[in-house]
Structure 1
Amino acid sequence: MKPSAWKKGNTIGIVAPAGPVKQEELLRGLEIVESLGVTVKLGKHVYDKYGYLAGSDADRAADLNRMFQDDEVKGIICARGGYGSGRIADLVDYQLIKQKPKVLLGYSDITYLHTSIRQRTGLVTFHGPMVASDMGESDFAKLSYDLLQQFFTPTDVVYTSAISPLEAIVHGKAAGPLVGGNLSLLISTLGTPDEIDTAGKLLLLEDIEEPPYRVDSMLNQLKQAGKLDSANGIIIGDFRTSIPEDPENLLSYDQVFVDYLTELQKPVMKGFRIGHCNPNITVPLGTEATMDTEAKVLRVKAGVSA
């Protein structure tokens, strides 16, 4: 189920389903959103703060539900990630989303909502920049901005090595709906009603500030849960950490990926600027995609309908 494309002059809702927002960052990001030729409507609780959450679970979920209910609002962008999306998964009105599908844009902690909404409703959602944590930065990349045009005109996303150096870990071609996102959030879905379904899919993985041993642990959990074996191919987005490690006891991210992914005997490609990086390339989740490691290209079908 694809949401409708935006038009100039549309109203776009801004919500904070996870962590609290800094006002100055949000205001800078709102200027970026409005420069697209749309107006913005803030959720009632977008500036709320409850410890490490942007308000209570009930209020954060209510903001999201209201934006889907509001016929004036044609799309929804999350303010930031952080933590908390999983806490509201059971409070989201999935029947409403089925009735009024709209663009939902975000990443990081929003991975939980991408997964729950897609698997409970079939709606295509979008993994990409958020208002405060990306658009609110002074160095928000032009390429990140340009790719937001896919919300106005149905356009396939074609990612080649012209955007960033791509490297095959396992060569081959594969196809299937693109799913996934933040690795630690995907792990948090395991054993829940929203457990990530990777069967026949291309699985996108990215994360930040998780040292290699933690990525090792999470990949092992995905492996033991059968999620790596059932995927048709693996797309490795951005991974980086500033956490110091003892160099004598350190495996690199690349070594960890090789250990877990070469034995799969299915295409695996790394180097994608998708996730906690700049540029942060927006890709639809849930639409058909193809990957070719020889040509070094990922093509994702348009996520909106005309």
Structure 2
Amino acid sequence: MMTGAAALGLSSSFGMQAASHQLGSGPAIVKPPRLNLGDTVGLISPASLNVDSYDYDMADEVVEALGLVPKRGKNVGRDFGYFSAPDKDRAADVNAMFADKSVKGIFAIRGGWGCARILPYLDYDMIAKNPKPLIGYSDITALHMALHAKTGLVSFHGPNATAAWGQASVDSFKPLLFDGAQPTYSNPEANEDRLVQRKWRTRILTGGTASGRLMGGNLTVLTAMVGTPYMPNMDGAILFIEDVGEAEYRIDRMLTQLGQAGHLKGLKGVIFGQCTKCTTSGGSGFTLTEVLKQHIVPLGVPAFQGAFFGHMSDQYTIPFGTRAIMDADAGTLRMLEPSVT
């Protein structure tokens, strides 16, 4: 498998960018400061608990292997039903990490379920005054969406601290967060004995190119935020979505809801990443690709399926709120600006 700069097509242009600018309605886009080797970063558990306490040690080791210093939230390691701690306590850890001047970035330890429950308890005014990179995926989508809607913060849909962190994930994360790189994302070549590549291929839903700010994450979590004050305006956005363990009809249901709520009509493009274990045993009548085409092709915007992010062991880190250009025919996504200052 090709990894590193060759797989990502990283740009050599790292230039500095102003901390904020306006993109459509809502708060100004705010970019957090970049990370530096030796920085202290916070570890939070804003959703489900980790059943095995050893996972917390693994999270520390991942952060250290990235050249950073871990600092656990006060409530990390607790146990409250299927959550890591009560709602207000989980929110308190998020607030504390943004308020702590010694903390330069924040990693979610895991997702699961629970981030949406803490959103009313976050101090958005304080967070807006202390922008920092927030990294995580799956249920962390709720935090990405809410922070962007309330503060304009650019955050990062990438591996949680207890994720696998293969080399491709590291090579995606470090240039983006440490160097302010403007990478071009493309799927790696699969190391397989086949005449033509079969694994990690992308599929064109609608050809063409489009530019816009990147918004999205886990489809289930995103859809559950429709109608709440934490749903950002997605007009003019490139929507990137992924999911896990959802049957085709449930993907259909969620896209139907997003469309009927008006959140698809203003998009500039759509990128569907990995839908891990989303195939119904014995068939469902429609394949996932057919469901996607039914909802996305009528939008008349460039779209492709199979990008290298989602519930997978080697996913790339995708910035939430950064301007980018996608090429559906080539299956690529290129950043048009740095995501950090």
TM-score band, normalised by shorter chain: over 0.9
Q: Alpha carbon RMSD of aligned pairs, Å?
A: 1.4
The correspondence for 2:245, drawn from 205, 209, 219, is 209
Normalising by structure 1, report the TM-score.
Answer: 0.94
Gap change, CA 1:3 and 1:273, over 3 Å in 2: same
Q: Quick one: distance in 1 between partners of 2:141 and 2:187?
A: 25
SS at match of 1:89: helix
Alignment of 1:1-306 (within 5 A): 1-21=30-50, 22-132=52-162, 134-135=163-164, 140-149=165-174, 150-162=176-188, 164-241=200-277, 244-247=280-283, 249-300=284-335, 301-305=337-341
CA contact (8 A) 1:89 1:113 kept: yes
Q: Using the alignment, how far apart are the partners of 1:125 and 1:49 within structure 2?
A: 27
Separation in structure 2 between the aligned mates of residue 288 and residue 179 of structure 1, nearest angstrom: 10
Counterpart Cα distance in 1 of 2:49 and 2:331: 38
Tell me the distance in 2 between the aligned counterparts of 1:220 and 1:48: 38
Shift of 1:240: 2.2
Instruction: Note closer, same or farther for the CA distance 1:260–1:242 as it changes in structure 2 (3 Å cut).
Output: closer
Cα distance in 2, alignment partners of residues 162 and 78 from structure 1: 26
Give the conservation status (yes or no) of the 8 Å contact 2:95–2:123.
yes
Q: Secondary structure at the match of 2:179?
A: coil
The CA distance in 1 between the partners of 2:39 and 2:231, in whole Å, is 34
Output the CA distance in 2 between the equivalents of 1:196 and 1:216: 22
1:46, distance to aligned residue in structure 2 (A): 1.0
For 2:290 and 2:225, locate their aligned partners in 1 and report how far apart those are by CA, in whole Å.
26
- Secondary structure at the aligned position of 2:264 is classed as helix
Contact 1:15–1:42 at 8 Å: present in 2 too?
yes
User: Structure 1 residues 293 and 25, CA, compared in 2 at 3 Å: closer, same or farther?
Assistant: same
Instruction: Note the C-alpha offset of 1:244.
Output: 4.7
Unaligned stretches of 5+ in structure 1? none
Q: Residue type matched to 2:242 in 1?
A: E
Partner Cα distance (2:183, 2:81) in 1: 38
Partners of 2:124 and 2:151 within 8 A in 1: yes
How far has the Cα of 1:167 moved from its partner?
2.3
TM-score, length-normalised on structure 2? 0.84
Distance 1:80 1:182, change over 3 A: same
Letter in 2 for 1:236: F
Gaps of 5+ in 2: 1-29, 190-199
Q: CA deviation at 1:32?
A: 1.9
Contact 2:141–2:217 (CA<8 Å) still a contact in 1? Answer: yes
Amino acid corresponding to residue 61 of structure 2 in structure 1: E
Matches of 1:71 and 1:222, distance apart in 2: 38
Distance 1:199 1:250 in 2: 32
Cα deviation for residue 259 of structure 1 reads 1.3
CA–CA separation in structure 2 for the residues paired with 1:203 and 1:267: 11
- Counterpart residue identity of residue 144, structure 1: S
Cα deviation for residue 241 of structure 1 reads 1.9
Given residue 49 of structure 1, which amino acid in structure 2 is its aligned partner?
A: D
1:61·1:88 contact (CA, 8 Å) conserved in 2? yes
1:184-242, Cα deviation, whole Å (9 max, x unpaired): 11111111111242200000111101111100100111111111111110010110226
Is contact 2:48-2:111 (8 Å) kept? Answer: yes
State the one-letter code of the partner of 2:48: G
User: C-alpha distance in 1, partners of 2:231/2:73?
Assistant: 28
- Partner letter of residue 142 of structure 1? Q
Give the share of equivalent positions with the same residue, in percent: 37
Per-residue Cα deviation, 1:242-277 (whole angstroms, up to 9, x for no partner) = 675343x43211111111111111101111111101
Counterparts of 1:265 and 1:254 in 2: how far apart (Å)?
16
Q: Which amino acid aligns with 1:43?
A: G
Whole-angstrom CA distance in 2 between matches of 1:64 and 1:75: 11
Post-superposition offset of 1:55? 0.5
Query: Where in structure 1 do 4 or more consecutive aligned residues deviate above 3 Å?
Result: 161-164, 242-246
The alpha-carbon deviation at position 62 of structure 1 amounts to 0.3
Partner Cα separation in structure 1 for residue 203 and residue 278 of structure 2 = 23
**What residue identity is the alignment partner of 1:218?**
M
